[in-house]
């Protein structure tokens, strides 16, 4: 299948750039710090004693920008169906394991925090309600089998009554729908295989940025209680499409098919969309400063994404490149396991008498360790088994950042070249 845009010689297939690893690590670390020090205390007020508080929410959006950039680069290679299967094989197995792990830890730990118990039958112990029948005895929710099923099926965003076992999980259904849309557009339409392909891609980026704003704020309003309106906006992930639009725009710009004069207003519209979707109730309060850290952080890291996309590699980071590459390679596992399990660990450490300044590095370290185990024991073996010859034992190469927080194998590369916030 022909490519509709020329390759940039500075972006050789299979190369690994330090700059992309650095952007992914920055985004994932910002997500972890924001969840642990800000979102966690909002959900559980007793944890509000950390020595720092990171209120900026932009990390997950940046990971989606990076994801869209590399979708544009990789969907053109080979059969779209195979491309989609490789994405599914990489992302879904560790997600399912993370959901199961989070569910059972939440049941045991949250019930213990609340002083609750379960019935004697094995079904009651695994999936039934507590003996007092109260799920919200405190801020520590005790999930039941229905919650597990909803999260395994990735349908949490389709109904307001569905519980997210972990707030970070919203990214995966949105990501999978965008991947499916990219594969369908590339394989079933001629829009991106014609002389006007770049123009069509620009229109797509603008549409992904502006149409969700029209739907959410003009057609429905940010507080529309209608179940079908909620499902349309959040079930289809319309409130996050602007981040993917930014990735498309940066990719076009890096290939010389979008001018800087066009990129700047498009990214400005993306920043506005990010602000409105993240803080929908501030539409009438444009001077409210509480959202500024998120907006400023998003803008600054978007600039870094542009620098990584078109500028020279960040060789000044070569001394720490091995660590950045390692952490970027396990970042999907870290992302999946850091939030709700991190809150539970923080509560357990607090009950054990540890002060907040000691809990913070322990929770961060535990998230990194858990993410490494999930990557090593689940993500890479499952991807190898599902996409390669049965019985293959060759190690999976280090990955390039072409998905949310993990990528397709790109072949071994020297470390000197190089993914709810």
Where on the phi/psi map is residue 221: left (φ > 0), alpha (ψ -120 to 50), or beta? left
Taking the C-alpha atoms of residue 208 and residue 249, their distance in angstroms, rounded to an integer, is 11
Q: What pLDDT does 282 receive? A: 60
| DSSP-H helix ranges across 127-230 | 145-152, 171-188, 197-213, 227-230
Q: DSSP class of residue 17? A: -
Are the C-beta atoms of 37 and 48 separated by less than 8 Å? Answer: no
3 state DSSP class of 163: coil
Beta-carbon contacts of residue 328 (< 8 Å; ≥ 6 apart): 20, 21, 24, 25, 28, 399, 401, 419
- Which of 116, 118, 96 has its CA nearest to residue 165? 96
| Beta carbons of 252 and 198 less than 8 angstroms apart | yes
Look at residue 156 in the predicted model and tell me its pLDDT.
Answer: 93
Interatomic CA distance for residues 269 and 292, integer angstroms = 16
> Is 156 within 8 Å of 163 (Cβ atoms)?
yes
This prediction's pTM: 0.86
**What's the pLDDT at 399?**
43
Q: What is the pLDDT along the chain (421 residues), one digit of tens a residue?
A: 223 333 333 444 446 799 999 999 999 999 999 999 999 999 999 999 899 999 999 999 999 999 999 999 888 777 888 999 999 999 999 999 999 999 999 999 999 999 999 998 999 999 999 999 999 999 999 999 999 999 999 999 998 889 999 999 999 999 999 999 888 887 767 766 666 778 888 999 999 999 999 988 887 777 766 888 888 888 888 999 999 999 999 999 999 999 999 999 999 999 999 999 988 766 545 556 778 899 999 999 999 999 999 999 999 999 999 999 999 999 999 999 999 999 999 999 999 999 999 999 999 999 999 999 999 999 999 999 999 875 444 454 444 444 433 333 333 222 222 234 5
Please report the sign of the dihedral spanned by the C-alpha atoms of residue 375, residue 381, residue 386, residue 387: positive
Non-local (6+) Cβ contacts of 390 within 8 A are none
Sign of CA dihedral 145, 150, 156, 158: negative
Exposure string of 195-221, with b = 16+ CB inside 10 Å and e = fewer, is: eebbebbbebbbebbbebbebbeeebe
CB-CB contact of 30 with 297 (8 Å): yes
pLDDT of 260 reads 96
For residue 315, the 8-state DSSP code is G
Q: Please report the pLDDT score of residue 232 as a whole number.
A: 86
Q: Are 232 and 215 in contact (CB under 8 A)?
A: yes
- Phi and psi at residue 134, in whole multiples of 5°? -110, 115
Q: What sign has the CA pseudo-torsion 373, 377, 378, 384?
A: positive
Report whether 319 contacts 336 (CB < 8 A): no
pLDDT at res. 303: 97
Closest CA to 371 of 415, 412, 329: 329
CA–CA gap between residue 121 and residue 119 (Å, rounded): 6
Crossing angle of helices 321-329 and 18-34, rounded to 10° = 60
3-state secondary structure of 118: strand
Q: What pLDDT does 299 receive?
A: 96
User: CA nearest 75: which of 180, 165, 175, 216?
Assistant: 180
Q: What is the pLDDT of residue 329?
A: 95
Taking alpha carbons only, the member of 401, 378, 230 closest to residue 309 is 401
Backbone angles phi, psi at 76, to 5 degrees: -80, -5
């Amino acid at each position: 299948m022909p490519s509709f845009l020329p390759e940039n010689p500075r972006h050789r297939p299979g190369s690994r750039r330090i700059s992309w690893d650095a952007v992914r690590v920055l985004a994932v670390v910002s997500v972890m710090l924001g969840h642990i020090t800000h979102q966690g205390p909002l959900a559980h007020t007793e944890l509000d004693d950390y020595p720092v508080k990171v209120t900026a929410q932009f990390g997950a959006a940046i990971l989606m920008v990076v994801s869209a950039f590399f979708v544009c680069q990789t969907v053109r290679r080979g059969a779209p169906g195979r491309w989609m299967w490789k994405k599914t094989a990489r992302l879904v197995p560790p997600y399912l394991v993370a959901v199961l792990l989070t569910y059972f830890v939440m049941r045991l730990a949250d019930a213990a925090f609340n002083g609750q118990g379960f019935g004697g039958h094995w079904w009651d112990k695994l999936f039934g309600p507590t003996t007092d029948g109260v799920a919200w005895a405190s801020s520590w929710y005790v999930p039941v089998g229905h919650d597990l099923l909803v999260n395994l099926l990735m349908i949490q965003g389709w109904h307001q009554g569905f519980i997210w076992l972990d707030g970070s999980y919203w990214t995966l259904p949105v990501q999978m729908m965008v991947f499916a849309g990219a594969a369908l557009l590339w394989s079933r339409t001629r829009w991106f295989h014609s002389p006007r392909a770049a123009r069509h891609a620009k229109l797509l980026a603008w549409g992904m940025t502006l149409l969700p704003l029209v739907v959410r704020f003009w057609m429905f309003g940010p507080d529309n209680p209608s179940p079908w309106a909620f499902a349309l906006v959040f079930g289809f992930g319309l409130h996050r499409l602007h981040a993917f639009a930014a990735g498309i725009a940066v990719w076009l710009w890096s290939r010389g098919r979008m001018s800087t004069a066009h990129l700047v207003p498009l990214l400005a519209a993306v920043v506005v969309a990010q602000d409105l979707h993240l803080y929908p109730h501030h539409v009438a309060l444009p001077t409210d400063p509480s959202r500024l850290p998120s907006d400023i952080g998003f803008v600054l890291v978007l600039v870094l994404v542009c620098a990584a996309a078109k500028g020279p590699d960040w060789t000044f980071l070569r001394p720490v490149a091995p660590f950045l590459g390692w952490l970027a390679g396990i970042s999907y596992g870290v992302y999946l396991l850091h939030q709700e399990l991190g809150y539970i660990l923080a509560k357990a450490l607090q009950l054990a008498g540890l002060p907040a300044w000691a809990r913070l590095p322990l929770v961060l370290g535990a998230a990194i360790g858990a993410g490494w185990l999930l990557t090593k024991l689940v993500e890479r073996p499952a991807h190898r088994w599902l996409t390669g010859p049965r019985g293959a034992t060759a190690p999976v190469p280090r990955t390039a950042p072409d998905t949310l927080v993990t990528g397709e194998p790109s072949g071994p590369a020297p470390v000197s070249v190089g993914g709810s916030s």
